[in-house]
Amino acid sequence: MIIVLKPGTEEARIQELVAMLEALGVIVQRNNGVDYTVLALIGDTTQVSQYPIETNDIVHKVVRIQEPFKRANRLFHPPDTVIRVGGHEIGGGQFVVAAGPCAVESEKHICEMAQLMKAAGAHFLRGGAFKPRSSPYSFQGLGKEGLTYLARAGRDAGIPVVTEIMSIDMIDEFVKNVDIIQVGTRNMQNFTLLRELGRIDKPILLKRGMSATIEEWLMSAEYIISEGNENVILCERGIRTFENYTRNTLDIGAVPVVKRLSHLPVLVDPSHASGIWWMVEPLARAAVVAGADGLLVEVHTDPKQALSDGNQSIKPQKFDRLMKEIEVLASIMGRPLRAPGEERT
């Protein structure tokens, strides 16, 4: 952190500030110039808050040099984090795909979907049991029952499952039934939830908040990791912009940025990013070649009858074709869909 002081600041005030900063555990390197005095903070400044310093009336400007996240920072952890779930590697050499319906709608349907997704080559089955809906009058998911159906569907088909958690009182149920726990876009800054998820060891799929900066997103990952759980998978799912032809705007550039700033794996969700079924395919392809580690795709046997988000779901047949396209592109990127020696069943 660099602190530029106002010209003409009296010595006593400078020394007061330096003392305050040193008390926070950093080394203060002072640079006296003719006009400006500049203080450079050396050491771990992640714990030094920028705002109170800016408020000080002798301070002209405060500049962060170091990113405020530490455990999620590639600088302090150069190799990629690889998370192993059900024999698959997320963030490693493989390119992975989680697919399935927006919501678990019935036991029969989710079991059918599990078989279809497995057969198409998907690595994980997605499906919501608890649905965050903007209207209290919309279908809210089957809840605990849905969780049980999902777990059974995954077990029967031999495909690990990922689903969204909405509150801390459900953590035990999720740990029991789920392979990857998803934190949705609306809960990306539900810090109480993040903290508690940091105390278990299940992989957490952290979706980007719809108006979260990349830095805020990584800070939310930091919340989880700082409590001990290092198995964080990021997921870009579109941000909110002025453009409203699409439901959200896929920030495809976030993929290379996050891969550079952090060692965590990054997936892309082309279904929520666009909200339109015929955009899933081109956006999925874009994600592969932009360097994502995988995809999260909504698939439904009958989108018209889907209890939620039918408009952005593709049919299994289209998904089969998409998997073939992805396979070609991922292999060009040096990322096969199957790990070496892994059989596609």
CB 208 within 8 A of CB 235: yes
Q: Which of residues 308-327 bind a second copy (CB under 8 A)?
A: 308-311
Burial environment of residue 137 by CB neighbours within 10 A (0 to 12, 13 to 18, 19 or more): exposed
- Nearest approach, Cβ of residue 204 and a second copy (Å): 14
The least CB distance from residue 321 to a second copy, in Å, is: 14
Tokens at 110, concatenated:
């989710």
CB of 256 to a second copy, least distance (A): 4
Nearer residue to a second copy within complex by CB, 192 or 201: 192
Q: Which residue of 189, 315, 316, 342 would you call a contact of a second copy, by CB under 8 A?
A: 189
The one among 86, 145, 176, 305 contacting a second copy by CB under 8 A: 305
**Coil/strand/helix, residue 214:** helix
Q: Judged by CB under 8 A, how many residues of this single chain contact a second copy?
A: 106
Q: Report the alpha-carbon distance of residue 78 to residue 76 in Å, rounded.
A: 6
CA angle 245, 246, 250 (to 5 degrees): 135
Nearer to a second copy, 63 or 108 (CB): 63
Please report whether residue 142 would count as binding a second copy according to CB under 8 A. no
Q: With respect to a second copy, which residue has the nearer C-beta, 103 or 159?
A: 103
Selected range binding a second copy among 112-120, 121-129, 304-312, 335-343, rule: CB under 8 A: 304-312
- 12, 135, 343, 345: residue in contact with a second copy (rule CB under 8 A): 135
Write out the binding residues for a second copy, residues 199-218 only, by CB under 8 A.
Answer: 210-211, 213-216
Stretch touching a second copy by CB under 8 A, among 53-61, 74-82, 120-128, 142-150:
53-61
> Closer to a second copy at the Cβ: 159 or 235?
235
Instruction: Verify binding: residue 116, a second copy, rule CB under 8 A.
Output: no
All residues at 6 or more sequence positions from 14 whose CB lies less than 8 Å from its CB, including other chains? 5, 30, 37, 58
Judged by CB, which is closer to a second copy: 14, or 339?
14
Structure tokens at 157: 């088909």
Minimum distance, C-beta of residue 266 to a second copy, in the bound complex (Å):
12
d(CA 299, CA 103): 10
The full DSSP string for 143-206 is THHHHHHHHHHHHHHT--EEEEE--GGGHHHHHHH-SEEEE-GGGTT-HHHHHHHTTS-S-EEE
Q: How far is the CB of 231 from a second copy (least distance, A)?
A: 17
Contact yes or no for 54/62 (Cβ under 8 A): yes
Minimal distance in Å, beta carbon 245 to a second copy?
5
Site mask for a second copy (CB under 8 A), range 2-21, x = bound: x-x-----------------
Which residues from 64-103 bind a second copy, rule CB under 8 A? 65, 68-70
Strand 88-90 with 96-100, pairing: unpaired
Structure tokens at 108: 């029969």
Alpha-carbon distance 56 to 59, whole Å?
6
Q: Which is nearer to a second copy, 157 or 307 (CB)?
A: 307
25 by Cβ neighbours in 10 Å (0-12 / 13-18 / 19+) ranks as exposed
Q: Looking at 101, 160, 265, 303, which residue binds a second copy (CB under 8 A)?
A: 303
CA distance 86 to 84: 7
Binding span for a second copy by CB under 8 A among 87-95, 116-124, 154-162, 281-289: 281-289
Taking CB under 8 A as the rule, does residue 117 contact a second copy?
no
